[in-house]
Amino acid sequence: MPLLYDAPPRRPSPKAEASSLWIGLSLMRARTSATGQLQECTEAAHNSQAPPSHSPITEAELPTPHQAVRELASRADATALRALADAAIADDQFLRRTAVEVIGIHPLGRELAGIILNALHDPSEYVVRTACDVVARWELNEAHDLVLARVTSASRATRRSAIRALDKIWLDRDVPILLRIYRSDPDPGVRREAARALRYRVSSGGLAAGF
């Protein structure tokens, strides 16, 4: 992987180190390198002594898993990506949603595009909607068919999110599907999203009369 810039590597801050360790502990997926650092911090806390390079980290100072995941957005390294990938398959649906959201804004997030595609299959509608938002942000064309399948979701909020994402990765064959949604979906918000997506495309496609 190419370096982002030609600068000497910097040691992560104590707060960033603690965040990475806490994610590993919370997800029970800590790796060998993280285990050594966690042991150092734990022993220091028990002995009331600071680790060699920073002040002791108390339990109250440790971030929650959600905070730790969010802090990874500013860490452009392989360790952060591994932690995000782990968080994206956690048992907690809200932690998965947070991980997908952070992947969407991470400078190296596109390396985890497969995670976003998988999230569109997630049993949690919260995760699916967040994945749709990432698809829209990235204009992730390979997600088209997965997003299209969600415009008929039982959740009206998910249908709206899917239509907004579809608007960014549009194919001409989507017109009849969105027209049908515009005419028949029971939710006014969903019909409005369909109307926005169709507004210019219907006119340019010569389907204004049908609209």
What the block records as the tokens of 186 is: 């029971």
What would the pLDDT profile of 145-168 be if each residue is shown by its tens digit?
999 999 999 999 999 999 999 999
Q: Which residue has the higher pLDDT, 13 or 90?
A: 90
What pLDDT score does 50 carry?
44
The predicted model scores a pTM of: 0.70
- Mean pLDDT, rounded, for 194-206: 78
Q: Which domains does the chain have, with CATH numbers?
A: 14-169 (1.25.10.10)
What pLDDT score does 36 carry?
44
What would the pLDDT profile of 14-41 be if each residue is shown by its tens digit?
445 545 545 554 544 433 333 344 445 4
What would the pLDDT profile of 168-198 be if each residue is shown by its tens digit?
999 999 999 999 999 999 999 999 999 999 9
Under 8 Å CB-to-CB from 114, ≥6 apart: which residues? Answer: none
CA distance 204 to 211: 12
What pLDDT score does 10 carry?
52
Please spell the DSSP secondary structure of the chain, one letter per residue: ---SSS----PPPHHHHHHHHHHHHHHT---HHHHHHHHHHHHHHHHT---TTS----GGGSPPHHHHHHHGGG--SHHHHHHHHHHTT-S-HHHHHHHHHHHHHSTTGGGGHHHHHHHTT-S-HHHHHHHHHHHHHHT-GGGHHHHHHHTT-S-HHHHHHHHHHHHHS--GGGHHHHHHHHHH-S-HHHHHHHHHHHHHHHHHTT-TTT-
What pLDDT score does 23 carry?
54
How high does pLDDT run on average in the chain? Answer: 79
